[in-house]
Amino acid sequence: MRKIKSIPFLMLIVTFCLIVFSPLTNAEYSPIIKITTADVDLYDENLQEKSLSLSKNSIVIVLSEENGWAKVNYKSSVGYVQSKSLKQAVGQHMIVKSKVEPLVRITDTQQSEATGNLPVNSIVEVFEVGSPSFVFVRSEYLAGYVYKNTLVNPTEEARVVKEQAGLIVYSAMKTSSNQIGHRAVNSKVTMLAKYNGWVFVKTKDYAGYVQGSGLKHDLKPSKESIKKPTVPKPNLTGTKKIALTFDDGPNAKVTPQVLKTLKKYDAKATFFVVGEAVKKHPAVLKEVFNDGHEIGNHTYNHTKLTTLTVKQMHLQIQSTDSVVQAAIGQNPTVFRPPYGAYNKTVTNQLNVPNVLWTIDTLDWKHHDPKKTLQAVKDNAKPGSIILMHDIHQATANALDDILAMLQKQGYEFVTVSELLNNK
């Protein structure tokens, strides 16, 4: 019975591989790529037996989702994982550069079966998988693993739509594919790649293909690139003011402890919050705000922005603004990029100052109150911006000693905006 029962399932796998991993000519293929948020088990079609375990940050192709379960393909295995253990994967656009068309494989090994080739000079969406040699890619019709050394970052170039009727933005290099947007005449786009008469472009809201004949060079500088904020430099002279900043919260347990200590010393601080955490703990954020502290945007799920498309960057920022607005009635007044990673494309998405730090306590790394205190003690000076995290108990434990030490030295505790605007 067991052998007979397994035949349909094997046929399902074979059929799926033929559909998913083969180039399609008559239908558009745009797989949904997600990533595991923790170590998870992959179950069989009856949700009875575990077929294998997936580690955190594993890339999967989602085939369907229903009743809290997602049917996924992981390398050569098809099965079910709980939907709550997955989140949308964030990819980076790159160009295929190789003497020959690189093979797309089912797994990240050289011996793995190849399912197709990527055209040289075409653009693909790339997802890191922790392999020294391979990355996972998604193209128009293929998804799988390729060698990293066959891909390069695109060179961005400004272009303007010259067609009077404007240009339709397609999801693939054919007019029968999905229309994902329209760019009016004289509107600007950023060109990433050219291939077979098509141009891959990105805008503030989406990325896709347009017909290259409808574009011309942009000879004028973008007004947006001129007006967007740069990273302000704190005033390092004058009165002894210092800014305490806390990233990655709010946290239901630690943030209230931090607030209690700040209140003890009549200290004001800036909290760079993550949208996902705000959505879980809006009441905690409201408490932070009501205590007179400044709220900053730290993206929705702490993703490295320089790896994203413009649309994805915009979504990370705007989604956080929305949940903060819902919780406290106003948008964040400053921004801090996760990992301190930003470029001109990132700052072009901002309407508030982009703020880094001058003292990194590394509290997230050592979880040692004494080391956190020592980092501040060794580096504090007027105008310093101190980086800490209100998600670690060790940080809350260190804060009283830090404030006592700084107060004894005559420091006034202010928000980042107060520090940067001090004349």
Question: Which residues is 144 bridged to in the sheet?
Answer: 137
Q: How far apart are CA 89 and CA 78, in angstroms?
A: 18
The total of other beta-carbon atoms located within 10 Å of residue 152's CB is 11
Q: Which of 304, 256, 294 has the alpha carbon at shortest distance from 273?
A: 294
Residue found under tokens 């001109």: 344
Q: How far apart are CA 301 and CA 49, in angstroms?
A: 32
Token pair belonging to 59: 């890339």
Active site residue 247: yes
Phi (first) and psi of residue 38, to 5 degrees? -160, 175
Q: CB within 8 A of 1, min separation 6: which ones?
A: none
Helices (H), 94-239: 223-227
- Whether residue 297 contacts residue 352, with contact meaning beta carbons closer than 8 Å, is answered with yes
- Whether residue 153 contacts residue 135, with contact meaning beta carbons closer than 8 Å, is answered with no
Indicate which residue of 108, 247, 321, 363 is catalytic.
247
Q: Give how far the C-alpha of residue 370 lies from the chain's centroid of Cα atoms, to the nearest Å.
A: 32
Indicate which residue of 93, 293, 298, 389 is catalytic.
389
Q: How far apart are CA 75 and CA 85, in angstroms?
A: 18
Region class of 171: left (phi > 0), else alpha (psi between -120 and 50), else beta: alpha
Phi (first) and psi of residue 399, to 5 degrees? -65, -40
Q: How far apart are CA 118 and CA 32, in angstroms?
A: 19
- Whether residue 409 contacts residue 240, with contact meaning beta carbons closer than 8 Å, is answered with yes
Active site residue 218: no
Exposure string of 407-418, with b = 16+ CB inside 10 Å and e = fewer, is eeeebbbbbbbe
Q: CB within 8 A of 167, min separation 6: which ones?
A: 161, 182, 183, 210, 211, 214, 215
Catalytic residues: 247, 389
